Amino acid sequence: MSTGSVPPMTDWLLRPARDTDAEGLIRVITRCFDAYPGCVTDVDGEMPDLWAIASAYQKVGGVYWVAEVAGQVVGCIGAAAAAARPALGLGTELHRLYVDPDARRRGIAARLVAVVEDFALAQHSAFIELWSDCRFTDAHRLYERLGYRRCPEIRILGDRSNTAEYHFDRVIRR
């Protein structure tokens, strides 16, 4: 097992994030970014909400969840309202799906996406959308396998990682 790796995956727990999860979230996201050349984890400059994630999402009417093993955060995902679309109505935006590299291929990511889908349905959303770094090809395969379509839009963030993101969406009700 590599340095910073997760405990053996005998069982994992899905729960709403707490503000005290900051250290675990930053560790997971940093480990994910480290797998891609040029990806930089700049918490204070670009992701300060990680320091109090539950409060940050509560302020915008969203929710953030973590997957944990033996008390250690191994994955995370968030959801908040997306801009309404005239043809569809209200939507939900999926945010920051990350699973520690040592905890992948165990169904955690798919379960995290499902929790956002359940949240979206409870919010009467007609669609879910997300943006994903163009380098995160494993995530793109997951989204497409789960029924999300890659849209033609690409956005450039202008961040320290020089991020370009693909847009994905999925209609969940008409």
Does a structural domain hold residue 101?
Answer: yes
Q: pLDDT (tens digit, 9 = 90+) per residue, 144-156?
A: 999 999 999 999 9
Q: pLDDT (tens digit, 9 = 90+) per residue, 111-121?
A: 999 999 999 99
Does a structural domain hold residue 8?
Answer: no
Residue pair 163/157 in contact (Cβ under 8 Å)? The answer is yes
What is the residue range of 81's domain? 13-171
Does a structural domain hold residue 38?
Answer: yes
CATH code, domain carrying 53: 3.40.630.30
Using CB atoms within 10 A of its CB, is residue 87 exposed (0-12), middle (13-18) or buried (19+)? exposed
Does a structural domain hold residue 7?
Answer: no
Q: pLDDT (tens digit, 9 = 90+) per residue, 86-112?
A: 889 999 999 999 999 999 988 999 999
Residue pair 126/171 in contact (Cβ under 8 Å)? The answer is yes
Total domains in the fold of the chain: 1
Average pLDDT, the chain: 93
Does a structural domain hold residue 2?
Answer: no
Does a structural domain hold residue 56?
Answer: yes
Whose tokens are 């005290």? That residue is 20
Model confidence at 20: pLDDT above 50: yes
